[in-house]
């Protein structure tokens, strides 16, 4: 418990981000389907470093330096890459002890935008417990930064932001000001009994991808828990030390 209340806020997509308001915040970058989830799995399976890069060409340059190269464009693995963006591709035998250069259509934009803040972490449903526990013990305002999709809202990111905001507010140590936090917590409350069905019923975008990605989407929305918090340091993601 801290004596002073800390502020929690949510940014719904990079298009709405104003870095001046959050430079002294801890920022949790959220890209549930699938970058956040995949990054958590990679570290849980022993990856030592992940460099988010903007372009496919930049990623391929890292291949020459011994990195695994991974990511997607429009959901699908890029030719010449070692892995796509499915969490199931980041198995222990593939990533343990390895460095990875990683690029996605939407995920790297929020990460790059949030890079000038006090601390930038990756949040997902699958590392909820550990990131919630760590955040609730910090004496700092927190921004939950949704990656969205093509500068619009991604409902699964808002759902996770709603879950995390609700959890933090329920500790009694956090307050919010704007209306975006209650929009997200109310959305999560409506959806929490069956996240997968809710998302399939409501998101045209995710429903269209069901045929290709159902197993991934189910995993990204699941309660499976990994014990890692990816943290951005000098342009690279590392597994946060306790």
Contacts of 216 (CB under 8 A, 6+ apart): 33, 34, 86, 87, 88
Is 80 near a second copy (CB under 8 A)? no
Number of residues lying near a second copy (CB under 8 A): 25
| Alpha-carbon gap, residue 76 to 52, rounded angstroms | 17
Which range in 10-18, 84-92, 99-107, 108-116 contacts a second copy by CB under 8 A?
Answer: 10-18
Is 177 near a second copy (CB under 8 A)? yes
Is 203 near a second copy (CB under 8 A)? yes
| Alpha-carbon gap, residue 116 to 108, rounded angstroms | 14
Q: In angstroms, what is the minimal distance from the CB of 202 to a second copy?
A: 4
Burial 162-171 (b: 16+ CB within 10 A, else e): bbbbbbbbee
Is 178 near a second copy (CB under 8 A)? yes
The answer to whether residues 142 and 120 touch, using CB atoms and an 8 Å cutoff, is: no
Residue 161 tokens, joined: 């932001």
Q: Indicate which single residue of 39, 68, 155, 226 sits in contact with a second copy (rule: CB under 8 A).
A: 155
Q: Which is nearer to a second copy, 16 or 134 (CB)?
A: 16
Q: Which residues bind a second copy (CB under 8 A)?
A: 12, 15-16, 149, 152-155, 158, 176-180, 182-183, 186-187, 189-191, 202-205
């Amino acid at each position: 418990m801290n004596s002073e209340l800390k502020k929690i806020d949510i940014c719904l997509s990079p298009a709405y981000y104003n870095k001046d308001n959050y430079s002294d915040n801890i920022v949790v970058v959220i890209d549930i389907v699938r970058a956040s989830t995949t990054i958590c799995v990679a570290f849980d399976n022993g990856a030592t470093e992940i460099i988010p890069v903007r372009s496919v060409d930049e990623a391929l340059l890292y291949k020459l330096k011994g990195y695994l190269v991974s990511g997607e464009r429009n959901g699908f693995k890029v030719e010449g890459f070692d892995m796509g963006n499915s969490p199931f591709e980041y198995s222990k035998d593939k990533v343990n002890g390895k460095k990875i250069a990683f690029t996605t259509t939407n995920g790297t934009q929020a990460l790059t935008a949030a890079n000038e803040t006090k601390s930038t972490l990756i949040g997902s449903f699958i590392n909820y417990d550990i990131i919630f526990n760590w955040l609730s013990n910090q004496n700092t305002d927190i921004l939950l930064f949704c990656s969205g999709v093509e500068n619009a809202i991604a409902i699964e990111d808002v759902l996770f932001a709603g879950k995390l905001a609700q959890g933090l507010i329920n500790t009694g140590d956090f307050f919010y000001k704007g209306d975006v936090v209650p929009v997200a917590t109310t959305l999560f409350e409506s959806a929490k009994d069956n996240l997968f069905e809710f998302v399939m019923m409501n998101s045209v975008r995710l429903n269209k991808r069901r045929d290709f990605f159902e197993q991934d989407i189910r995993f990204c929305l699941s309660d499976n828990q990994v014990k890692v918090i990816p943290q951005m340091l000098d342009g690279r993601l590392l597994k946060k030390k306790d």
